[in-house]
Amino acid sequence: MSNLIQFFDHLENLDAESKYLVHKAREATTHSYAPYSKFCVGAALMLEDGTVISGANQENAAFPLCMCAERVALYAAASAHPGKAINKLAVVAHKKGHKELSAATCCGACRQVLLEFESRQKKPIEIIMLGAAGKWIKSSAEGLMPLSFGKEAME
């Protein structure tokens, strides 16, 4: 699997499906429940058959129970469409009440979960997110998670 990370200066430079998923992820931030962080995150993924599933972060007064947008979308996809591979996932974020996107790269927990989805389906997932200095990033889960822990370790 590829561990190449690509950087793009403008969203327009990404392929049409990636741009569409970024748009769907932006839409998904509408359903973010983030009264504590006030950081609204949305994720949208595309399955191999073109189905799009989205998710938004869901917070809780008991902070460790907060769930990231990426995992909401991933678990929804696995539950509703078991066995279908995920081709791409986009994640975006903005501060509550702000229109412009903030840089937001997947947290370590989401990278670990993405990696397990990727290794289960034996096919890279293209992850698209907005990094520092306004650069769009495209990478597989493996690319985002060097020296990772996986099930091979226990075999």
Q: Which residues bind ligand THU (CB under 6 A)?
A: 34, 37, 39, 41, 57, 59, 66, 68-70, 106-107, 110
Is 118 one of the catalytic residues? no
Strand residue runs (E) in 33-130: 39-47, 52-56, 86-95, 126-130
Smallest gap from Cβ 37 to ligand THU, in A, equals 4
The secondary element (H helix, E strand) that includes residue 23 is helix 16-28
Among 17, 48, 59, 70, the active-site one is 70
Nearer to ligand THU by Cβ, of 101 and 110: the residue is 110
- Residue 73, SS3 per DSSP: helix
Nearer to ligand THU by Cβ, of 1 and 66: the residue is 66
Nearer to ligand THU by Cβ, of 53 and 110: the residue is 110
Helices H / strands E in the chain, number of each: 4, 6
The single-letter DSSP state of residue 54 is E
Smallest gap from Cβ 72 to ligand THU, in A, equals 8
Nearer to ligand THU by Cβ, of 83 and 108: the residue is 108
Smallest gap from Cβ 79 to ligand THU, in A, equals 18
The secondary element (H helix, E strand) that includes residue 136 is strand 136-139
Q: What share of the chain is helix, strand, coil (3-state, %, to 5)?
A: 40, 25, 35
- Distance (Å, whole) CA 38 – CA 71: 18
Smallest gap from Cβ 154 to ligand THU, in A, equals 26
Annotated catalytic residues are 70
